[in-house]
Amino acid sequence: MYRPLETRHRFRLGRPARTRSVTGTRVGFDPGNYVVLRRGVRMRSRSTGVLTSAVLAFAVGYVLWPPGYVYWTRVADVLGEPLTLALVALLAAVGGAVATLRLAVPLADLVAGSVLAYAVGMALLESVITADSPVHFLLYGGLVLWYWLGATVAAVGRSSRDDRAVSSGRPE
């Protein structure tokens, strides 16, 4: 399912970046002075990355806010509703960060997968539960946005760490 990258590559500012590795050809542009493609695992294809992130996003949404059994109501009785919603949002962001850092899912695949998970989840929810209001669309949409925020922060943090390691000459 995963293949490790075999090489590390550096690119100069603004030049087309073309690399060959076990996973194939990757073309892009360098936004900084140097970029290092880290050794690690990469998805074999875009569809694998999208499906992996869809399953993970669906699982995070289900665990954080299971339909029909919302255990957060007991937490809200103790902490209050605003603090409980903030805690759930923070956990969704942590889920997105974990997906980005540990699974090496590209951010575009993670966004596409979470949109797919949201669409499938809402279709399943509509077929199972007859709700009086569409508030579940907003709640799960908010979870997806926090999931994206956590993934974006993790991706930016990872790239800035890589840039600092390259500019200082330190190995990763």
Number of domains in the chain: 2
168 domain residue, yes or no:
no
Q: Is residue 160 part of a domain?
A: no
> Is 102:154 a contact under the CB 8 Å cutoff?
no
| Distance in angstroms (rounded) separating the CA atoms of residues 31 and 33 | 7
Find the helix or strand (DSSP H, E) in which 44 lies. Answer: none
Alpha-carbon distances of 108 from 54, 64, 99, 118, 148, rounded to whole Å: 12, 23, 12, 15, 10
Residue 161 located in a structural domain: no
81 with 93, same domain: the answer is yes
Same domain, 65 and 115: yes
Query: pTM of the entire structure?
Result: 0.64
If one counts every other C-beta atom within 10 angstroms of the C-beta of residue 110, the result is 27
Instruction: Give me the tens of pLDDT residue by residue for the chain, a chain 172 residues long.
Output: 444 444 444 444 444 444 444 444 444 443 433 333 444 444 456 778 889 889 999 999 888 888 777 777 888 889 998 998 899 999 999 999 998 888 877 888 899 999 999 999 999 888 887 777 788 888 899 999 999 999 999 988 876 665 555 555 555 5
> Do 37 and 67 belong to one domain?
no
17's enclosing H/E stretch is strand 16-21
Tell me what pLDDT residue 97 has.
92
Of 55, 61, 108, 113, which Cα lies nearest the Cα of 89? Answer: 61
List the domain range (segments joined by +) for residue 39.
1-43
DSSP secondary structure code for residue 103 in this structure: S
Residue 75: inside a domain = yes
Beta strands per DSSP E along 30-106: 41-43
The DSSP code sequence of 124-148 is HHHHH---SSTHHHHHHHHHHHHHH
For residue 93, what pLDDT is reported? Answer: 95
Kindly state whether residues 69 and 133 are assigned to the same domain: yes
Residue 164 within any structural domain of the chain: no
